[in-house]
Each structure stands twice: as structure tokens, then as C-alpha cells.
Amino acid sequence: MLPGGELYQALEKGVLDGTEFSLPTVDDQLGFDKVAKNYYLPGWHQPSTNQFLYVNIAAWSKLKPQTQAQIETTCTAGVSMALAKAEALQGEMLTKFKKEGVTLRQFPKPMLDAFAKASKEVVAEESAKDPMFKKVADSMAAFHDKNREWHNLGYLPGLSFTEMRERNVRIDVLAERFSPRKRLWVELFGLLLLFLPFTIFVMWSAFPFFWSSYQLHETSAAAGGLPYRWFLKSFIITAFALLVLVGLSRLTRVWAALSARH
């Protein structure tokens, strides 16, 4: 196990063939893109980085409730900002890596499955040795299971990606019997009469919902609750705006295909 500050030299001199360290922004600061030209994702051993403020319980109990709420709100804002920035900055950094000759790669599914299997084995071993570890691991696993369906189905921005990559589930009882040209016409009218009107209607209907929240500077009523609720509500508009763009893109491709076949 080498300290982080020694990894660059170890890669440069060939002592190490590869390393796993941190987010692209941190890897860039350490200069790994200069000595390692293959960048594999996703990282596995540390799926999340969290910040904590530790306060002695006796000292905490002496604080006024208002002061406790202020500290909790500040910590919540700090963690929210850190998570948001961590997500927002990585795409730009990956683009920078590619310009510098780094090849971005994703672990194949068999390897990801092997990582998952090994991780579960390690968690089971540690849980058997430490009751507190087991309590935390079981709690996280239960939450993951409960939220899995929501994450699979409920994140609207993902709809634009699945539509763009055509990875949505299709049940073509009739279309499979149509000629390729007739299928293109069906898709064209479906986009014009169903998909685009619906997405535009939802986006239009959601705007007052977002705008009233923005004008009121709406926040959570709970101490330490979510600030800027209007920002969260704007995701509805953003998600369906992305779907509109994808629909228009698909429309142009379908029309181009029809024109080419004419």
C-alpha cells in the first residue's frame, strides 16, 4: 500500500502497472493522465465519499436548540454542495483526459459481476466479526433493496438517455409485421401526435409549479431540511426538456430515413 503522493512516481517508473485512487478531478491533480493512458470506470472499492463533523455529545447537549439547528443546516448545505460539485465537474475532466490521449474504458459486465460477488463476500466476513459493522451493512442493504425500483424507474432524466439509445422496452405486437418504411411512418406520427405533445404539455404544466416555488424561495419547513426546493422542482422541466430534444432529434433521423428511402 503506497501513500497517494508516491503513486505518480511508481507509475512513471513502472513499479506499478495501474492504480485506483479517486475521482477524475483528483486524479488530474495528481497527474495520473500523464503516466496512465487507460482510464477504467466505475471505481469500486469506495463507492462514495462523505464528510462528517464530530462533536462531543456532552458539548453538543449544552448548545441551544437554535445553535444545533444552525450547525445541522450548515453541514447539510456543505454536504449537498460537495456532492453536487463532485458530480458536476467530472464530465469536463473526462473530456480533458480524452484530449490528452487517455482512453476511457468501462469494466465489462463479467468483471462488474465479479466485483459485486467479492464485495458481498467481504461484507459478510466483516459482518461476522463486528456487530456494529453488521448493523450498518444490513441497514444500507435494506435501504438499497427498498430504493432499487425507484432508482430504476423513477429518475426522469434517465428517460432521455434510454430513448436516445433506444434501450427502452418495446412491445411491438403490430409493428413487427410492418415493412421497414411503414414502421418509420408509424414512428413519425407517434412522435408528432403523442410523444412531443405529451412531453411539451408536462413541461408547460410543471412551469407554474416551479415558478411559484422560486418566487417564494421555498425551503423545507424542517430544521436542517432541504434548501432551495425550487431547484429540485426544476428537474421536472429539465427532464422533459431533454425528452423534447431527444424527440426532435429522433424526428429528424426518421424523416431523413424516409427521404432516403423515397
3-state secondary structure of 104: strand
95: CATH: 3.40.190.170
| Domain match, 101 and 225 both | no
User: If we measure between CA atoms, which residue out of 209, 199, 189 comes closest to residue 160?
Assistant: 199
pLDDT of 62 reads 95
Domain boundary among 97, 131, 165: 131
Beta-carbon contacts of 41 under 8 Å, excluding residues fewer than 6 positions away, are 104, 105, 106, 107
Domain boundary among 131, 157, 185: 131
User: Is residue 169 a part of any domain in this protein?
Assistant: yes
pLDDT of 55 reads 94
Beta-carbon contacts of 230 under 8 Å, excluding residues fewer than 6 positions away, are 210, 213, 214, 216, 217, 218
pLDDT of 51 reads 78
Q: Report which residue type is found at 105.
A: R
Check if the beta carbon of residue 195 is closer than 8 Å to that of residue 187.
no
Check if the beta carbon of residue 240 is closer than 8 Å to that of residue 156.
yes
pLDDT of 139 reads 92
pLDDT of 164 reads 52
User: Is residue 55 a part of any domain in this protein?
Assistant: yes
What values do phi and psi take at 4, rounded to 5? Answer: -55, -35
Q: Kindly give the parts of the chain with pLDDT less than 50.
A: 169, 171
User: Is residue 138 a part of any domain in this protein?
Assistant: no
Total domain count for the chain?
Answer: 2
pLDDT of 15 reads 86
Domain boundary among 131, 165, 182: 131
Q: Report which residue type is found at 58.
A: A
| Domain match, 12 and 125 both | yes
User: Is residue 178 a part of any domain in this protein?
Assistant: yes
pLDDT of 233 reads 81
Check if the beta carbon of residue 93 is closer than 8 Å to that of residue 28.
yes
| Domain match, 251 and 158 both | yes
CA atoms within 13 A of residue 172's CA, in its CB half-sphere:
12
Structural domain range at position 228: 144-262
User: If we measure between CA atoms, which residue out of 223, 218, 229 comes closest to residue 70?
Assistant: 223
pLDDT digits 0-9 by tens, 48-103: 677 789 999 999 999 999 999 999 999 999 988 888 888 888 888 999 999 999 99
